[in-house]
Structure 1
Amino acid sequence: MQRRMFVKWISVLIIVTFFQTSVGFAEYQEKVENVIFMIPDGFSTSYATNYRIFKGDNISFDSLLVGMMKTNSANSWVTDSAAAATAMATGVKTNNRMIGVSPKGQELKTILEASKEAGKSTGLVTTVSITDATPAAFGAHVQSRKSEYDIAKQLVGKVDVLLGGGRSRFTPRSTEDENVIEIALSEGYRYMDNRKKLLNDSETGTRVLGLFAEEELTPVVDLQTDDQPSLAEMATEALRVLEKNEEGFFLMIESGQIDRAGHVHDPVWAMNEIKAFEEAVNKVLEFARQDQKTLVVIAGDHDTGGMSVGGYNEYVANIELVKEAKATGNKIASMLNKRRSNAKELVKQYSGITLTKKEEKEIKKAKKKEVAIVLNDIISKRAYVGWNTHVHSGVDVPIYAYGPASQNFRGHLDNTDLPKKIAEALEITF
């Protein structure tokens, strides 16, 4: 009797093990046709935690957490966005400020370029300039991230869908320069410069250039008009155009202003940009669930600002305080009168906080370039959000993944591992 029971349990164990192995093997073998690489610039675990508290609920992509990622560049434990994006695009570390080239200046093939060579369509979407460091690193090769006109010229023709800000980077700097928008039109792009054109776009052409601001898009919490699209709306348009290619596509979507908020210690700006990013993620996941051949990878390029959850020698976290705020610190600072005597009124109106006399004095004494930061630090202190730098920190950042081959992103990875694993999933040479 005992022998029969033993044999029976062994048989069950073998069947279960075989089933699990088969499922794991099948999962690994699932075909990946499309990749959507989403980069919340400056986002780390502290931003995730604070946003969860701010939202009052889990983040919609919390369940997709698979690992953590190292972010250092070739010449520093603390990376800038250019080196970070280059590593995430090429699989090779470079020095800070360099785009798409090795520390010695050699051009490096990017995962976007490899996807293009494999017959796939390509796209870049961002809330900052399309020539800024993160999108630039996926399709351009320059010694300095400041060479944004040259970056614009390199992106056009190589990337099928370009949506974001940076219109000024596409126009001539001198009489010797070409108008890059005109070059794009001559190469079959349809051009749009406002949200209405984007939302009404139903054309079948596969190349789109959308430049919705001279520089960066307006922070979502500061928007007072409807002439600029949201990140979710740009993502939706990019997917509509790119999915026409039967060979698949590679799309990078960046939420660039989480980083901007961190640099100036603005929790209102940061939380609202993460909210907009989450909305874009939800649109992407909706597409991926229906398609079933799309790999979605989400990872910040680095931490910005060294944000903490709680602080100021108190066991308190109160970032919910900024939930009803209606403007960034930069916006409030721009509305101050010459003597800054209206600071108390404006801060109350746009953040709900009543300034103390000491805080009013701090605002009045601040240098012109530092007024917004002083405002932000006052609001951060009330919300018990600490900061330890105005640049980046070198902490690891979370990785999220969904879809076929998502299991390959588990564990503690280097930023150079991500494009290699994406190439492996796509079965392309890289």
Structure 2
Amino acid sequence: MGMFGSRRALSGAAGTAVLAVAFAAGTATTEGYRDDRDRGDRGRVDRARNVILLVGDGLSIAARDAVRLATVGQDGQLAMDSLRYAGWTQTDSADPEEAVTDSAAGATAFATGVRTYNGAVGVDADGNAVPTLLEHAKELRKSTGLVTTSQVTDATPAAFGSHVPDRGEQSEIARQYLEVTRPDVILGGGEDWWFPEGDEGAYPDDPDDVRPEVSRSPFGNLVEQAEAQGYDYVSTEAELLDSDADRLLGLFANEEMFEQAPEGEGDEYDPVVSLRTMTEKALDVLSQNRRGFFLMVEEEAIDEMAHNNNAARTIQAGQSLDETVALVTEFADHHRGTLVIVVGDHETGGLAIENVDPADESGDLGSTEENVLRSLEDGPFPVAGSDLEFFVDWTTTGHTGAATPLTAEGPAAELLARSQDSTDVFRVALAAMRGRW
């Protein structure tokens, strides 16, 4: 079977009843996807049949350029930079105490078009549930999916599929996926939040980890509940690839699908299933619905590695995202009416690209404080295809308020080619799905 080939028709009802927001239930159409290469290019059509939103968590313009230099060099072009339209998003949240957003508020802006306080997921600044792009897609009888290298219940995917006042309520987020928003495909890490205490699941508990990895669901075995609702549960790449189900739950790690740490201190980026492979499977499943789909894909490790001022792993995670963007753009080339958006939710680390200059070292070389030493220059890294090298310098281990780059192609993408608020991503994606812009 070729990439994006039809496996089986979608079936089942996709109903949604959301806390303070209600949507009418609809039934997914059971016609397999069509290859649209004979219907012209990705020019304007009446509406977006498919919307694929790819979020590089913590992806700044400097991080994107570091990935470009290390991967394809000064004269090369990343897949994410090949999309036709480019703009940038201002990332301010509506937090009353902090000027810089976190991932929860940033993702909620993308998902709902509403600015909210840091830590909020799918709710406004008053704590009221706000309908998300995923729920609007369900209302339009589209299939839906969430893919991430983080926990599937972490802030970014959670903002599209749940409504909680505190991003830390990850088991409640999982419960809402099953009982309220019901995405057709859920792939990533975080099995600890789905299994009850004492039930290790597929990945053994590790209570001695710096961030203890132990099963902790207060709602019983949510994986069993998912299977009872018709999800095919998979925990390895082989199981994922072998599945022919139209509803998938894949959990491939206790928590994140990588180990975030400073360089040489236990850092690792080697997911059990790559972001590209998870995304390819999601596209294969979701594209069965002739009414189309909404899919959110997140690369979380860019942010987590930048929090640890680990430039090598930040670049590696960015390369993984770009490989996934290349896959998605190939899919869009074969499926007219697909809107593709690539964007960062905020900047992390205050990353800067610098020349190799020993006299220009920033920070306090004589400090004994871990955070100070960690924020020294990182590198050198080779510029692909040349004899040049560059350093990465850091200013913080936290987020910054810098705007983030956005590239897009497909129906309504031209509306994103400007300076805008992050909430405009929601408005344009929804308008494209509805065919009203």
TM-score interval (norm. to shorter): 0.7 to 0.9
After TM superposition, list the pairs within 5 Å mapping 1:113-128 onto structure 2: 113-128=135-150
Q: 1:366 to 1:116 in 2, by over 3 A?
A: same
Counterpart in 2 of 1:94? 116
More moved, 258-267 vs 59-68: 59-68
Counterpart in 2 of 1:74? 94
Counterpart in 1 of 2:178? 156
Report how far residue 366 of structure 1 moved. Answer: 6.2
Report how far residue 288 of structure 1 moved. Answer: 0.6
Q: 1:116 to 1:54 in 2, by over 3 A?
A: same
Q: 1:47 to 1:315 in 2, by over 3 A?
A: farther
After superposition, the C-alpha distances for 1:129-170 in whole angstroms (9 at most, x for unaligned) are 001100000011111001011011111251110000000011
Counterpart in 2 of 1:324? none
Residue 107 of structure 1 aligns to a residue whose secondary structure is coil
Residue 419, structure 1, aligned to residue 426, structure 2? yes
- How far apart in 2 are the matches of 1:232 and 1:117? 28
Counterpart in 1 of 2:219? 177
Counterpart in 2 of 1:167? 191
Counterpart in 2 of 1:277? 321
Equivalent AA in structure 2 for residue 259 of structure 1: D
- Identify which of 190, 198, 201 aligns with 2:232: 190
**Cα RMSD between the aligned structures?**
2.7
Report how far residue 395 of structure 1 moved. Answer: 0.8
Residue 276 of structure 2 aligns to a residue whose secondary structure is helix
Q: TM-score, normalised by structure 1?
A: 0.76
Residue 69 of structure 1 aligns to a residue whose secondary structure is strand
Structure with the bigger percentage of strand: 2
Counterpart in 2 of 1:134? 156
Report how far residue 199 of structure 1 moved. Answer: 2.4
After superposition, the C-alpha distances for 1:335-358 in whole angstroms (9 at most, x for unaligned) are xxxxxxxxxxxxxxxxxxxxxxx9
- How far apart in 2 are the matches of 1:155 and 1:175? 14
Report how far residue 414 of structure 1 moved. Answer: 0.6
CA contact (8 A) 2:194 2:217 kept: no
Counterpart in 2 of 1:32? 48
Report how far residue 403 of structure 1 moved. Answer: 1.8
After superposition, the C-alpha distances for 1:6-41 in whole angstroms (9 at most, x for unaligned) are xxxxxxxxxxxxxxxxxxxx9444431010000000
Structure with the bigger percentage of helix: 1
- How far apart in 2 are the matches of 1:63 and 1:176? 45
Residue 61 of structure 1 aligns to a residue whose secondary structure is helix
- How far apart in 2 are the matches of 1:428 and 1:99? 27
Report how far residue 177 of structure 1 moved. Answer: 2.6
Report how far residue 258 of structure 1 moved. Answer: 0.1
Counterpart in 2 of 1:51? 67
- How far apart in 2 are the matches of 1:400 and 1:40? 12
Residue 108 of structure 1 aligns to a residue whose secondary structure is coil
Counterpart in 1 of 2:82? 63
Residue 384, structure 1, aligned to residue 384, structure 2? no
- Identify which of 239, 243, 248 aligns with 1:208: 248
Report how far residue 312 of structure 1 moved. Answer: 8.6
- How far apart in 1 are the matches of 2:133 and 2:283? 18
- How far apart in 2 are the matches of 1:288 and 1:410? 19
- How far apart in 2 are the matches of 1:175 and 1:144? 16
Counterpart in 2 of 1:310? 354
Report how far residue 306 of structure 1 moved. Answer: 0.7
Residue 191 of structure 1 aligns to a residue whose secondary structure is strand
Report how far residue 175 of structure 1 moved. Answer: 9.0
Residue 410, structure 1, aligned to residue 417, structure 2? yes
After TM superposition, list the pairs within 5 Å mapping 1:221-260 onto structure 2: 222=268, 228-260=272-304
CA contact (8 A) 2:192 2:217 kept: no
CA contact (8 A) 2:258 2:301 kept: no
Is there any run of 5+ residues in structure 2 with no aligned partner, and where?
1-41, 198-215, 261-266, 382-389
Report how far residue 58 of structure 1 moved. Answer: 2.1
Report how far residue 309 of structure 1 moved. Answer: 1.0
After superposition, the C-alpha distances for 1:255-312 in whole angstroms (9 at most, x for unaligned) are 0110001101000110000111111111111111001121101110000011001179
Is there any run of 5+ residues in structure 1 with no aligned partner, and where?
1-25, 318-357
Report how far residue 60 of structure 1 moved. Answer: 1.9
Q: 1:244 to 1:238 in 2, by over 3 A?
A: same
- How far apart in 2 are the matches of 1:294 and 1:315? 49
Residue 114 of structure 2 aligns to a residue whose secondary structure is coil
- How far apart in 2 are the matches of 1:126 and 1:150? 18
Equivalent AA in structure 2 for residue 40 of structure 1: G
CA contact (8 A) 1:302 1:394 kept: yes
Residue 39 of structure 1 aligns to a residue whose secondary structure is strand
After superposition, the C-alpha distances for 1:57-78 in whole angstroms (9 at most, x for unaligned) are 3212213242111100012431
- How far apart in 2 are the matches of 1:53 and 1:314? 20
Report how far residue 178 of structure 1 moved. Answer: 1.8
Which structure: larger Rg?
1
Equivalent AA in structure 1 for residue 49 of structure 2: E
Q: 1:289 to 1:50 in 2, by over 3 A?
A: same
- How far apart in 2 are the matches of 1:54 and 1:28? 34
CA contact (8 A) 2:349 2:394 kept: yes
- How far apart in 1 are the matches of 2:43 and 2:149? 34
Q: 1:397 to 1:378 in 2, by over 3 A?
A: closer
More moved, 405-414 vs 109-118: 405-414
After TM superposition, list the pairs within 5 Å mapping 1:332-411 onto structure 2: 374=373, 377=376, 379-380=378-379, 384-411=391-418
Give the number of equivalent residue pairs.
353
CA contact (8 A) 2:57 2:344 kept: yes
Counterpart in 2 of 1:354? none
